Chain A
Amino acid sequence: MVADDRHAKLPGIIVFILADIASFVLFFIVFMAERAKQLDVFVQSGQHVNVTLGLINTLILITSGCLVALAVPSARNGQIILARRFILGALAVGALFAVIKGVEYYQKIQAGLLVDTNLYFTFYYIFTGLHFVHYVVGMTLLTLVYFKLKHQSSGHFLWLHSGALYWHMVDLLWIFIFPLLYFQGAR
C-alpha cells in the first residue's frame, strides 16, 4: 500500500532544517573570522587532523545519503520492501561513520589534542560534536522510519520524506565541515 500522504507538501521539518543550516553557516563565518586572527595556529593545528579518515567519513555519509534518496521514490511507487532495504543499507553504512569518528577522537585525545588545546581544536570538537549529535538524531530517525515502513503505520511516507531531508542535512553539514576543518593544514 502506498500512503495517502505521499503527495503531501514539503514537511514542516524543513523549517528546522533551514534554521539549523543557517546556524551552522553562522558558525562557519565565525570560524573563518577567528581563523583570520590566528592563521598560523589554525594552519599548524590543521596538520594534526587525519584527512584520510575525514574523507572516508565523507564518502560514507554520501553513500548513506544516496541510499536514503533511493528509498523515497521506491516508497512513492509502492515498493515498500525495497524502500526498507535502502533504509537498512543507509543505516548500516551510516553506522561506520560513528566508528571512524570514535577512532579519530581517540587519536586526538591520545595525542593530547583536547578542546582547550587552542581555538582550532575548540572549533574542531564543537563542530564535529554538534554534527555528531545531529548524526545520532538522524540515525534514530532513520531507525524509526524503518519500523514505520515495516508496519506501514499512518503517515509513514511523511516520516520517510522528513527523515530523508534531515539525513541530507547531516550530509550537507559534513560536506562543509570536512574541508573547513581538515584542509586547514593543506599546502
Chain B
Amino acid sequence: MDRTGKSNPYRYVRFCAWGGPILLVALIFFWGILGHNIPPYSAAGNADEIATHFREHTSQARIGMIFTMAFGVFYVIWGLGISKVMEAIEQDNNVLSTLQLWGAGLTTIVIILPASFWLTAAFRPDELPPQTIQLLYDAGWIFFDCAFSLTMLQILAMGVCFLGDKRAQPIIPHWVSWYVIWVGCMLPLLGLISVFKDGPFSRSGLINYWIEFPIFFLFMLLSSIYVLRAIPKLENEHALAN
C-alpha cells in the first residue's frame, strides 16, 4: 500500500503519460499542417489574405480545428500522469503536483478555445467580411500566446518539484528539470505578440514562433520520455516498499 492506501498507485499512469506524445503528434498534424499554422499568417498581413485562406481551405481548416479541440483534452490527461510522478517526489504536501495539474488543465483551455475561434472563422467564411475573419484569427492567436501564465504555472511547479527529489539517483534528471524551468521562463516573451505585428517578437516571428514553439514541443517530448521512464522505477520502489 502507498500513502494513499492504494495497492497499485500507477495503474493508468502510463496511459496518461502517453497523452503528451499523442497530443504532440495530433497538434503538429491537425493544428500545424491542416490548420496552416506552420507558420501562421503574419499579423502585418492584410485581412484579405487570411479571408482567402479560410474561403479556399474551409474543409481543411474545419477538420484541423475540430481534431485540435478533440485531442486538446490529452493535455490534462498528460498533466495527471506527470502529477502522479510528482506525488512520489513530494515530501511534505501535494501543493506542487496540484498546481501542475491545474496548470495543465487550464492549458487545455488554451488549446481548445483558440481552435474554436479559428473553427468559427471557417464556419461561414464566404458570408463574413475579411476584417471579421481577421478578428477571429487574431483573437485566437492572442489567447493562444498571451495566456502563457497558465502553462508557466504548470511548467514551473513541475521543474521545482523534480529538482526537490532527494534520491541519490533522481527520478527525473536535474538537467531535464532545469530545461523545463528555462522553457517556463521563456514563455512570458509570448505576451509580446500583442504589441508587435512584425519582427522577431510577432506571432510568426523568429523568437515568438520559430524558437518558442520548438522549445515547448521539445519540453513536451522530453518530459514525456522521462516521465515514462520514471514509472517503472516508481513501480519497483512501490514493490520493494511492500
How many chain A residues sit at the interface, stated as a range, is 10 to 19
| Measured CA separation A119–B185 after assembly (Å) | 23
Per DSSP, chain A at the interface is: helix
Contact of B207 among A14, A19, A30, A119 (CB under 8 A): A30
Asked if A20 is an interface residue, CB under 8 A from chain B, the answer is yes
Q: When A23-B186, A119-B199 are in contact, do A13 and B178 touch as well, CB less than 8 Å?
A: yes
Closest chain B residue to A11, Cβ basis: B174
- List A contacts of B196 (CB < 8 A): 122
A101 → chain B closest CB, angstroms: 19
Report B150-181 residues with CB < 8 Å from chain A CB: 163, 173-175, 177-179, 181
* Nearest-neighbor residue (CB-CB) of A31 within chain B: B200
Name A26's contact: one of B181, B192, B195, B211 (CB within 8 Å). B211
Cβ distance B106 to chain A, nearest Cβ, rounded Å: 23
Interface members, chain A 9-52 (any B CB < 8 Å) = 12-16, 19-20, 23, 26-27, 30, 34
Q: Which residues of chain B are near A34, meaning CB under 8 Å?
A: 199-200
Set A12, A23, A26, A119: member contacting B175, Cβ < 8 A: A12
The answer to whether B211 touches A116, judged by C-beta atoms less than 8 angstroms apart, is: no
The listed residue (B181, B185, B206) touching A30 by CB distance below 8 A is B206
- Complex contacts, A12 vs chain B, CB 8 Å: 163, 173-175, 177-178
Cβ contact of B182, chosen from A16, A26, A116, A126, cutoff 8 A: A16
Does B102 count as interface, using CB distance less than 8 angstroms?
A: no
CA distance A119 to B199 in the complex (A): 9
**B178/A15 in contact, CB under 8 A:** yes
- Check B182–A19 contact: CB distance below 8 A: yes
Q: Within 8 Å of chain A (Cβ to Cβ): is B54?
A: no
A15 touches B175 (CB 8 A): yes
Q: In the assembly, what is the distance between CA of A23 and CA of B210, in Å?
A: 12
Beyond A26-B207, A26-B211, A116-B195, is A20–B182 a contact (Cβ under 8 Å)?
Answer: yes
**CA A145 – CA B197 in complex, angstroms?**
42
The answer to whether B201 touches A126, judged by C-beta atoms less than 8 angstroms apart, is yes
Q: Give the number of residue pairs across the A-B interface with Cβ within 8 Å.
A: 40
With a CB–CB cut-off of 8 A, which chain A residues contact B201?
122, 126
Distance between A53 CB and nearest chain B CB, rounded to angstroms: 26
The answer, among B178, B199, B200, for a CB contact under 8 Å with A16, is B178
B residues 170-225 in Cβ contact with A at 8 Å: 173-175, 177-179, 181-182, 185-186, 192, 195-196, 199-201, 206-207, 211
Among A20, A26, A122, A126, contact of B185 (Cβ-Cβ < 8 Å): A20
Report the bound CA distance from A57 to B174 in whole Å.
33
- For the complex formed, measure the closest distance between the CB of A13 and the CB atoms of chain B, giving whole angstroms: 6
- A124 CB to closest chain B CB (Å) equals 14
Nearest CB in chain A to that of B181: its residue: A16
Residues of A within 8 A of B192 (CB): 126
Interface string of A90-131 (1 = CB under 8 A from B): 000000000000000000000000011001001000100000
Q: How far is the CA of A23 from the CA of B185 in the complex (A)?
A: 11
Q: Which of A152-172 contact B (CB under 8 A)?
A: none
Contact of A15 among B179, B186, B207 (CB under 8 A): B179
Among all A-B residue pairs, the 9 with the closest Cβ atoms: A12-B174, A15-B178, A16-B178, A19-B182, A15-B175, A30-B200, A16-B182, A12-B178, A12-B175
Q: Given A13-B178, A15-B175, A115-B195, 10 other A-B contacts at CB below 8 A?
A: A12-B174, A15-B179, A16-B182, A19-B179, A19-B182, A26-B206, A26-B207, A27-B207, A34-B199, A126-B201
Which residues of B approach A to under 8 Å, CB–CB? 163, 173-175, 177-179, 181-182, 185-186, 192, 195-196, 199-201, 206-207, 211
28 contacts between A and B (CB under 8 A): A12-B163, A12-B173, A12-B174, A12-B175, A12-B177, A13-B178, A14-B178, A15-B174, A15-B175, A16-B178, A16-B179, A16-B181, A16-B182, A19-B178, A20-B182, A20-B185, A23-B186, A23-B211, A26-B206, A26-B211, A30-B200, A34-B200, A116-B195, A119-B199, A122-B196, A122-B201, A126-B192, A126-B201
